[in-house]
Chains A and B, each alone.
Chain A
Amino acid sequence: MKFTIYQESRTGKRANNEDRLAHCYSRDSLLMVIADGMGGHYYGEVAAQIAVQTLTQAFQREFQTRIRDPFMFLQKEMLNAHRGILDFAGKHHLLDSPRTTCVACIIQNNIAYWAHSGDSRLYLLRKGKVLAQTRDHSRVRLLLDKGTITVEEAATHPDRNKIYGCLGGQQNPEIEFSRKMTLEAADVLVLCTDGAWNELPDDVLAAALKTTNLSAAVPTLLSQAEGRSGPHADNLSMIAVRWEDTYVDRSSGSSSLISTKSMPRDTVATQMDEFGRKPGHKTELTEAEIELAIEEIRSTIQKYSK
């Protein structure tokens, strides 16, 4: 396999980033996953982390040359993540279970398979156009399909954040699968959370990602989206992969091109941001931390005043 890939997640103007994303690949398969922990529900970020971790860990376990049935894999692991989240809620006696969206994609043998739950999206771009995309499990999407509202109305609809398919929560998650999509060289697959796609029309996204330089295009897109969402920008995350011709042995000149041909059979490369808030960006002190800091200062004062 040959591809270039770039992923980035931003906090926006929120206090905390509840998006999680990762990709990993072995010699013959590539997995990408994004989860958007739902705000308003406690521990949204934990739910997102459980989802991403469950899928990447399963991939690392089952990568033995290639995954036998990618759709089966996606279904099984997304359900596992859902149960993992419920277990977490049970173990910590949470009144309500945390929830997260999830979109995941596997590419192997030049074929892409994806599944999603909620309103995190996947786009397949070919020649600067959107060839396929996921359909959000959201109220607004339903209304749009019924023709009750227009695209313009949807953008400002009060219920646009209401989604019905997600991992965690009381009901079994709605998981929707793609068809098998055979990839062509220069196809781009994009996974992103609503913070990113909300402000990026399909054509803008498709045009911007026509380039081979994803590590420049993705940050630019995210900055655009962040800028447009103003002072309350949501978390925004994006993974973009540009597929290159597997069977042509010709370097495209891009230094960031990954070729898995030379990888040993028994390894998996994983890129996942560390769990938890980045220490440098930690914003909130908990009650306990405040008490601890005061206690510490008081005891130092005591020590030195004698």
Chain B
Amino acid sequence: MVQQANHALPVAFQLDEYRIEHQLSLGGFSIVYVATDSQGTQVAIKEYLPNTLALRGEGGISPIITEEHLPAFRYGMKCFFEEGRALAGLSHPNVIRVLNFFRANDTVYMVMEYEHGCTLQELIQTNRPGVTENFIRNVFTKMLNGLREVHSHRLLHLDLKPSNIYMRNKHVPVLIDFGAARQTLACDTPMLKPMYTPGFASPEHYNQRELLGPWSDIYSVGASMYACIAASTPQPADARLDKDHLPPAMVRWEGLYSDQLLETIDWCLCLNHRYRPQSVFALQKALTEPVVAAPKMISEPDVEQPLLKENWFDQMVGKLKKSRNQ
């Protein structure tokens, strides 16, 4: 099948009660626009338009869907509804709000709130020095409030990554793009490949989808924290299963961030899903735990190193004791 790029709806196009301003993003499954409603409020509109099944040529409005692709197109629509359903029932400051859902141009549209800001991905790329210990703890603890809400509705996000965390006013993290979200009990689609992003997807994403659970999203959170610090995507989980080249955060950034934070990241990135934090709550607890030792600066490694090692050892012992007492 030839992959074709779909053309976006033209600027100023009147779509239902909304007026298209510009295209925000273009994915394989959908196009997102910024539009204004009748009150002049800006909204984001996501248009269901899988480019392998429906084609909109230049200047076209309704996509062309061949007879052959219609069943698959309709089937994919189910996933889009799933996303709508997932989001419609969630009302949380750290989860994107859905405002409307409608049918037009032979396809379906989801209207979401739109506020100025940028994705976490853009933020960490443009502001490297800003990625401090506090920044990471702060952003992820808040974001996890949203994820907790998602999980409490028996939903999994399944595509968590820095580019799916929107920083509202560059400040408040909001979970976006629930395109991969699934009711934990709903079965998978046979015709559309499950969506995930290599590097952020857990090992279960690849071949053991029956094992997907909160711990799978937690792997992605760990990978996102890792990516924030590394400024690059971690080694994909399937490759790690084959040969693990991912240096533990603890080894890579020792001394730059607190051991406790680095350990937490490594904890989330365990390949065995049972060894990871099993709930968002457990992870949040680890992220908000008071840090025992202040992070050491790397400028004086010779002097500080022995002390640091000792601290690390103390912490390990402390942890072991704690776990024994439980």
Measuring CB to CB, which residues of chain A are less than 8 angstroms from any residue of chain B? 15-16, 279-285, 290-291, 293-294, 296-298, 300-301, 304-305
A305 to B190, CA, bound (A): 34
**Is B108 in contact with A284, judged by CB distance below 8 angstroms?**
no
A291 to B81, CA, bound (A): 11
**Is A301 in contact with B101, judged by CB distance below 8 angstroms?**
yes
Q: Which residue from B70, B75, B81 sits with its C-beta under 8 Å from A297?
A: B81
Contacts of A16 in B (CB 8 A): 71
**Is B101 in contact with A284, judged by CB distance below 8 angstroms?**
no
A281 to B189, CA, bound (A): 8
A280-B190, A281-B190, A300-B85 are known contacts. Are A294 and B102 too (CB-CB below 8 A)?
yes
**Is A284 in contact with B81, judged by CB distance below 8 angstroms?**
no
B311 within 8 A of A: no
**Is B190 in contact with A297, judged by CB distance below 8 angstroms?**
no
A282 to B98, CA, bound (A): 27
Q: Which residues of chain B from 38 to 91 have any CB-CB distance to chain A below 8 Å in the complex?
A: 70-72, 74-75, 77-78, 81, 84-85, 88-91
B191 within 8 A of A: yes
**Is B74 in contact with A294, judged by CB distance below 8 angstroms?**
no
Nearest neighbor of A14 in chain B, beta-carbon distance: B71
**Is B108 in contact with A300, judged by CB distance below 8 angstroms?**
no
A281-B190, A283-B191 are known contacts. Are A297 and B74 too (CB-CB below 8 A)?
no
Report B87 CB to chain A, min CB distance, Å.
9
**Is A294 in contact with B101, judged by CB distance below 8 angstroms?**
yes
**Is B88 in contact with A285, judged by CB distance below 8 angstroms?**
no
**Is B77 in contact with A304, judged by CB distance below 8 angstroms?**
no
A285 to B107, CA, bound (A): 13
Nearest neighbor of B83 in chain A, beta-carbon distance: A297
A291 to B239, CA, bound (A): 43
Nearest neighbor of A279 in chain B, beta-carbon distance: B187
A16 to B75, CA, bound (A): 13
**Is A15 in contact with B71, judged by CB distance below 8 angstroms?**
yes
Q: Mark B89-108, 1 if CB is under 8 A from A, else 0.
A: 11100000011111100001
Contacts of A298 in B (CB 8 A): 88, 100-101
